[in-house]
Every structure is written in C-alpha cells, then in structure tokens.
Structure 1
C-alpha cells in the first residue's frame, strides 16, 4: 500500500491494563516524533472526561489487570467508549497473554464501536512471536514458560483461537491480501515472527481509523512507523536533567528482574535495602538514609509472596520511595514492575508521565506529571538481560536534553 501524506494522524489513544503496558504502547509514538503522555487513571463515563494532550498519544493505564474479569471488562468498555473518536485506537495486551485478554478485547470492541479487530501480540524484539495463532516466548509456548507460574495471572493457554473462539487466524500465505478479509469486519489474529511481518500488516490495512488494534509493543512500533508525526505538528519535549542519586525500586518477582537485581547489588557504588513482611518501611528508610553510596536500591524479598503480602510490600516500597524523594536523598527513579510503578507514582502525587523516549524495547523514560517533576524510568518485570538495571541506572545519571531515539524532525 502506497504511503499517503493525507493519512497523517495526530490523535492517538492507547488503552492499557497496567502502567508498564501503557508506557510500552506510547513510547514508539514518541520515538516517531509525537508528543506522548501516560496517565495513571483512565477516563470517566463520557468523552468530555477523557483527557488529551492536544495532539499526540495518550496512553491510559486502566489498572484492569488487578481487577476481577467483570470489573476489568466494564472499565475497558467505558474507556473505549470515551475515546471512540480517536483517529488511532490501540488496546494493548501483554505479549505473554497475561491478564483478562479475551474479556478486555471484547469489551474494547463493544465500547469503541469498531467492527474490525486486529490482534497481533508478537513482540519480536523480546523473542515473543505468534505462529499459527499460538504465542511463543523464545521458542517455548507461553503456557509452558515461566509465565505459567505468574502469581497473579498464570498463563493457561498459548492458543489465541482457544482464548477467542470467534476469532479467525489469518494465514501467512495470504500475503498482501490481508485487507480483503478485514474489510468485512470481525476479529482476526495475525501471526508474526518479525517486525517486518507487523509492518506488512499495518501497511495492508486501507482504513486504519476503522480498526481496533490489539497488540503489544511490537504492533505499537509498527503503527508508529506507519504514522509518524506530521512535519507541521509541534512536539514540545520534556527536559531530562542528569540525576545525582538514582533510586531503584524493585517490586517485580519475575526471575529476569531478580537476576538484574542480583547483578546490581554486587556493585560497590550501590546501597540496597529490603522491605520485609511485618517490618514496615521504616528499617529500609533508615538503612538508606545512612548510606553514602551514589545509587540507592529498595526491593522486595526474592521469595514469591501471596497476594496479600505482595500488596503490603508494594505499599511499603512506595512509602520508602516517597520518603527518600521528599528528603532529597533520591532525585531520579528507576521502577520495575507495573503495579509497583503505579503505587510509587501515586505516593509521589504524580498523575502520569510525560514521555521523553524509549531507550530500550519495553522501557519508558520521562518526567513525572505532578508536584515533583522527577526523571523516571519504568521497566516491565520480564524485560531485559542481566545487566539492564545497571545500564538504566547509568542512563538516569547521564540525563539528556533531547530524545535519543526520536526520528528526524521530532
């Protein structure tokens, strides 16, 4: 399909089930030159209550992954209705199929009024691909991977056709003719193993404004490449000063994050403290207050916790982060884990994040919206290699005066 300059979009909405997914969905559009913001709360019941940036992308964290299925669906439908006039409407899903995937897709379709739904959950940059309607993580079906043991949303099937029996799985041999079945409406699962596959899908759809797009950061990046910021649109950028003393907040129990934490704790310039059940945040605050290391880390215990303990520990992490930031002992944040990030940001009085860039796949960097414009990095628990936390801590300390990944003209 030939690129058409009249196809430029400036009103883009991402509906996400947690904060890291919201950041992951918005960040590729920031890289493509759009202004981008992540909101901690979704809209109310009507379009008038749905905040916008006045051009660019809004990513609303609906917080629905933490809800029961019925409440999650109701919240998603309400948000999709509020933003149904957006030029580009995207519903994110986790690339490992955690959460209320089927219920939220159906709810978003109903609320948006869009008859055609395209589901493409592949995120090739992180080894997450879709083959014949089955989702894989680095060659393993997701229900056989470590995500099957997720404490909140264990994955029980990798087959999208089982999750959504009403969906049609498109065949790779259909090639550029994908637009033909899509034109009649319905729910379609799109198999993709590479970014090129996702680009072909996005370019094959003639009327993208009529589609509810469902996917992970891989699809968001393909849509952003297809719809970069129009040259005439202005995009003010937040300023990211260098951080004197980063505060790293680790709440994710995912093994990838725990390996990253283990590596970070071995450094001589890092002081780390653990929040423990029944001890409260005070001991961790005192330990880090006495530390003279240039990097501070507060984290939950390595062992898996039940839901009640996990929520209490997350609140303790947020209390530590808010206290240290208020005292000026930490002037930049690196937070890993979606629920952890929301709780920490709310404790700091933030309403969202003005995005600066996406320094690595699945990682959002920006400035808090609220009383304390703190430079912040948000990382999903399952992303990155063993030295990711080290790299991101260095990135915070370096600062930046323009988005490192923005395209020309941004």
Structure 2
C-alpha cells in the first residue's frame, strides 16, 4: 500500500480517525497543517469546524486533492453531524479522483447509530438531542439522505459503487460497519466518509496489510498530569465533576488572574490539575486561546509531564501554543480516545478527546491509566 490518508475538520476527529489504524499495526501521525504523506497513516486537521462554509469547502477540496494518491482516502465527519459536513464532503469528492462517497457516520461504541439513513445518539435522532442546541453547529436534520441529495441506502453496495454519488450506510453495531466495508469491491475506489466507527472497520479490514515491523511505544506513568477542558458539551461537565470528586482536585478557571499559579501548585503538590474555561458560551471570549496561554506558561516551567485535552478547537489551540507540529500516535486508551507523543520542542504524551465522547467516568479512567500504570501500546 502507498498509504492511508485522513482529512478531518478538527483535531479530535483527526486523532480518533487515525488511532484505530495505529492499533491495527499501521504507523500513524496526526498533522496540524498540510504536509507530505508519511508511511502508513497520515491524518490532517484542516481546522474547518468553526470557519465559514465556503472556506471549509476550499480547505477540504485542497486536502483531498493533495492526498488523492493514497490507497485509502477517508473524510471524517462528526458522528453527531456537526460541522459543514455536506459542503466538505462534496468538495472532497470533487477533487479526490473518486466517483462515489460511502457515508457511514455510525460509532456504535459511543451510542451513535444510523437507522434507515437517520443518525441517532443513544436511540434518539440527533436533531432531538442536545446537539440540536449546539452553540456553534445546531443540528436541524438527522436524515442523511435528506442532507445529501440523491443519496441511496446501502442495500446493494457493490452494484452502487461508481453509479451513485453518495451511498449511506446503516449501522447499529460494529459488525454492520465491517459488512459495509467488506461489501465494497476495492477500498481505493471510494471516498470513505465517517467517524471513528468506520475508521475502525476499515482498520480491521486492512490490518493484514499493516507492517509487522511497526514498533511499540513505551510510555512511563505521568507524575504531573494536566487536564485542559474547553468543550461546552454536557458530557464534559459530568466527566469533570466525577474527576474532581475522585481526585479531590477542583477545576481552575483559566481566566482567573491567579490561574497559572494555582494550577502550578496543584501539579506540584498533588500531581494533577484541571484547567477549564467557563461552562457556558460567552460571546467574544476566546476560551481556547485563554486555555492555551495558561498551558504554555505552565509548560515553560515544566509544571506537567502529560496532557489530556478535551474539545477539538481547544486541543489544536493548546498544541500550537506549545509549538507542536504533529502527533505521533501510540494507540487508543479507549475507543475514540487516542494517545500520542507531541512532535515538537517538548515531546509530551497527549490524550485528545472529543467533548461529547465517553461516560461520566471517562476522565477518571484516563487519569488512572496515565498516572498509575506504565502502558505498552502496540
């Protein structure tokens, strides 16, 4: 294989799209800007989630054209359908050299399923959940065949490749996604459009082609863990509450004048600190930038030795502030939650988590795995 390329609209989507391939044996890197493909899997964050739709489409088209020569080309979309998904997929398809896009946003491991072309979260159509009130991309329709005009459901996938522009794949289990991937005669013939569920199915399908020489990454337990939370999703609130209760660490508001010093003391005395923004949207308040400045100040004094970043925009802004160029992935700590090493001035371990992923105990489990045990990840 000459490679697998992933075009993602934000950093968490790039990370959780590439991580299943790393677990399957492919070397994988997440890039914060366009660049040459690497061996194995290259995922690029084109940073379009919060940009105007026309610019999002241009960036998607440019990246898909740049990576059109990859054996497998994936355009990630959010499993709750946030972002400029239709404009970006249309643009990517037009420059990818492919004629058909297989659209399958289901991620059963996180309760996101597709039934009769309608996207669900925990059994409810996504436009009837909190995501209908998302402060940036409120979801108005959960019907993928309505969103993608002319799309057809995947009853006879093999016969539709090349004939239909968009094929929508139903899936309520990982097995459904495996069957969908296996039904496409050649993976290189289509543009794959989906979330980590589809990426994992593709990784399982392509695993025999992974390099046996791909080395494991050995990571020591962190002694000073910094959790930076910028997501406004209610799931993040529940996870922060549980983490604070389990560790006795109260979140530090990054906008407070003494936030950096308080976080530094917590890291030194207790080995962990939680840095967060306001738990509601404030117009004009650059929450990711505020979090990034505080994190960079803490990093200058080597106050932490591992990071957990929650929320795609926050993760990208923080990593850029730390001088990161890319992330070499080590694997997944949980489905959809990748772990990697920052490629930049300070090669710190970093976990990137989408704000809506996980149950209330997710951050507690991540804390325990990063601080209490050494992990050897394939």
TM-score, length-normalised on structure 1? Answer: 0.88
Provide the C-alpha distance between the structure 1 equivalents of 2:219 and 2:90, rounded to a whole number of angstroms.
Answer: 39
Q: Which residue of 2 aligns with 1:383?
A: 357
Distance of aligned partners of 1:232 and 1:274 in 2 relative to their CA distance in 1, 3 Å threshold: closer
Q: Is the 8 A contact 1:81 1:111 kept in 2?
A: yes
Residues 1:263 and 2:224 are matched in the alignment:
no
Provide the C-alpha distance between the structure 2 equivalents of 1:233 and 1:70, rounded to a whole number of angstroms.
Answer: 42
Provide the C-alpha distance between the structure 1 equivalents of 2:368 and 2:126, rounded to a whole number of angstroms.
Answer: 32
Provide the C-alpha distance between the structure 1 equivalents of 2:21 and 2:164, rounded to a whole number of angstroms.
Answer: 26
The SS at the match of 1:166 is coil
Q: 1:348: how far off?
A: 0.5
Q: Deviations over 1:221-249 (max 9, x none)?
A: 00000001536553234432221110010
Distance of aligned partners of 1:231 and 1:319 in 2 relative to their CA distance in 1, 3 Å threshold: closer
Q: Deviations over 1:241-287 (max 9, x none)?
A: 221110010111100000111111224552531123xx5xx420021
TM-score, length-normalised on structure 2? Answer: 0.96
Q: 1:131: how far off?
A: 0.9
1:29-108 pair list within 5 angstroms:
29-41=21-33, 43=34, 50-53=35-38, 55-108=39-92
Q: Which residue of 2 aligns with 1:395?
A: 369
Q: Is the 8 A contact 1:238 1:366 kept in 2?
A: no
Segments of structure 2 that go 5 or more residues without pairing to the other structure are none
CA RMSD of aligned residues (A): 1.5
Distance of aligned partners of 1:216 and 1:372 in 2 relative to their CA distance in 1, 3 Å threshold: same
Q: Deviations over 1:376-397 (max 9, x none)?
A: 1111000111111111111111
Q: 1:399: how far off?
A: 5.4
Q: Deviations over 1:46-89 (max 9, x none)?
A: xxxx4222x21011000011210000000000000000000000
Q: Is the 8 A contact 2:254 2:276 kept in 1?
A: yes
Q: Which residue of 2 aligns with 1:4?
A: none
Q: 1:295: how far off?
A: 1.0
Q: 1:402: how far off?
A: 2.5
Q: Which residue of 2 aligns with 1:284?
A: 259
Q: Is the 8 A contact 1:243 1:397 kept in 2?
A: yes
Segments of structure 1 that go 5 or more residues without pairing to the other structure are 1-8, 44-49
Q: Is the 8 A contact 1:241 1:375 kept in 2?
A: no
Q: 1:201: how far off?
A: 0.9
Provide the C-alpha distance between the structure 2 equivalents of 1:112 and 1:97, rounded to a whole number of angstroms.
Answer: 21
Q: Which of 146, 156, 159 is matched with 1:162 structurally?
A: 146
In the alignment of these two chains, the number of paired residues is: 376
Q: Which of 274, 279, 290 is matched with 2:253 structurally?
A: 274
Q: Is the 8 A contact 2:37 2:67 kept in 1?
A: no
Q: Which residue of 2 aligns with 1:293?
A: 270
Q: Which of 268, 286, 294 is matched with 1:320 structurally?
A: 294
Provide the C-alpha distance between the structure 2 equivalents of 1:37 and 1:269, rounded to a whole number of angstroms.
Answer: 35
Distance of aligned partners of 1:149 and 1:231 in 2 relative to their CA distance in 1, 3 Å threshold: closer
